[in-house]
Structure 1
């Protein structure tokens, strides 16, 4: 009986160790849009790079209400999406001014 309990505890310990060593899941954008989003509603942004834990590259705008908006990556922006780069430049300028 004691050997069964010890074996069960050993298996449970190995399972827990496996979960603890697993990679932490990252929230990734699965698709993007090029629809305009007003700067006044954005608080910050991050750039998601394909191959660094996510499948696609994207600009991730974080709104003042803590929602995320997945927009096309600035390197993929066309003439109609120049607003993405302009938003990023404005947010960067504000970030530097706050330091």
Structure 2
């Protein structure tokens, strides 16, 4: 009986360790668009790097209504870099 309890406990520990070690991608862009987005609709952004929980590099723009739009990484498209600069400047001016 004691060996069964020990075996079940060991199995539970192994299962918990597997879940803890697994990388679970949360809120990752799975694909990107290249179409230029209207700047006036954008509220903020985040940059996604491949290998840090997500499979691809991307920029996640968040619209004023809370929708997440995935586009190419800022290194890939000049308009993405310009939108990011504008959002950063807007954020900086609102905090002063």
TM-score using structure 1 length? 0.74
1:16 alignment partner in structure 2: 16
CA drift at 1:24: 4.0
1:93 aligns with 2:85: no
| Aligned residue number for residue 65 of structure 1 | 65
The alpha-carbon deviation at position 22 of structure 1 amounts to 2.9
| Preserved CA contact (<8 Å) 2:24 2:53 | no
Deviation at 1:13, TM superposition (A): 2.1
Question: Using the alignment, how far apart are the partners of 1:91 and 1:21 within structure 2?
Answer: 36
Q: Distance in 2 between matches of 1:32 and 1:69?
A: 8
Q: Are residues 86 and 18 of structure 1, via their aligned partners in 2, closer, same or farther at CA, if it must alter by over 3 Å?
A: same
TM alignment of 1:1-99, pairs within 5 A:
1-77=1-77, 82-99=78-95
Structure 1: state its 5+ residue gaps.
none
* Bigger helix share: 1
- The TM-score, its normalising length taken from structure 2, stands at 0.76
CA RMSD of aligned residues (A): 2.1
